[in-house]
Amino acid sequence: MKIFIVATQILLAHTVFSQSFETPVRLSANEPLTATGRVTWALESTFGPTSILSISTQSALKTWSNSPREYGPHWDGFGKRIASGIAVSGVSDAVEASVGALWGEDPRYRRQGQGSAGARLKYVVKMAFMADRASGDARPAYARFIAIPSSQIISNAWRPPSEVGVGDTTLRIGLSFARQIGGNAFSEFWPDLRRKITRRGVAGKSSSD
């Protein structure tokens, strides 16, 4: 059961999924990131519909499996899990956006959109640990390296005892980077898949006519 929940969390990838320019984020990933844009990015990444849906789905799965057990398998526990997920996301996004501003780190994922599948997949993984700078080159995502661990450590202040061990915290940090990769992959390959689905739908409709 725990493995199933972990796999689902990776696939949902709410943090990066909500940052994709294929989703309704008001700030284009191709525009320079201003101070206002950083605030917009952080708010959209935390409270956008995709993020809320993802956190709600994860919370529902955890409520069903009663993880953590202290919250219980009921509506009250479901609400606590949602609140915790939003709080962690909010802290992480705020830290990444604000700290990254000190050296011009851009937290948004810019889709490559061309090349072989293997090359694009390498780019997907690479950009989970790298970030574009104002100069246009990609460098290690130091703000993300600060934001993800710190948000998970801070969250231990409100998490129940069964979730605050060193191993649990380390696992959550690792999962956050895994979700970063999963979200990048969605942003990179979903537009291609969507176009194929659309073409097949149009072709099927035309043949039936």
DSSP codes, 170-197: HHHHHHHHHHHHHHHHHHHHHHHHHHHH
Q: Evaluate whether 32 touches 81 at the Cβ level (below 8 Å).
A: no
Domain containing 139: what range?
2-208
Tens of pLDDT along the chain (209 residues) come to 554 444 445 445 444 444 443 333 445 556 778 999 999 999 998 998 877 888 899 899 999 999 999 999 999 999 999 999 999 999 999 999 999 999 999 999 999 989 999 999 999 999 999 999 887 789 999 999 999 999 999 999 999 999 999 999 999 999 999 988 988 898 899 899 888 888 777 666 666 66
Look up the pTM and report it: 0.79
Q: Evaluate whether 77 touches 136 at the Cβ level (below 8 Å).
A: no
Q: Residue 202 has what pLDDT? A: 65
Distance, C-alpha 25 to centroid of its chain: 13
Domain count, the chain: 1
> What is the C-alpha to C-alpha distance for residues 83 and 104, in angstroms, rounded to an integer?
31
Q: Residue 152 has what pLDDT? A: 96
Q: Residue 177 has what pLDDT? A: 94
How many C-beta neighbours within 10 Å does residue 191 have?
15
> What is the C-alpha to C-alpha distance for residues 31 and 21, in angstroms, rounded to an integer?
11
CA of 126: how far to CAs of 1, 61, 109, 122, 129, in Å? Answer: 30, 30, 11, 6, 6
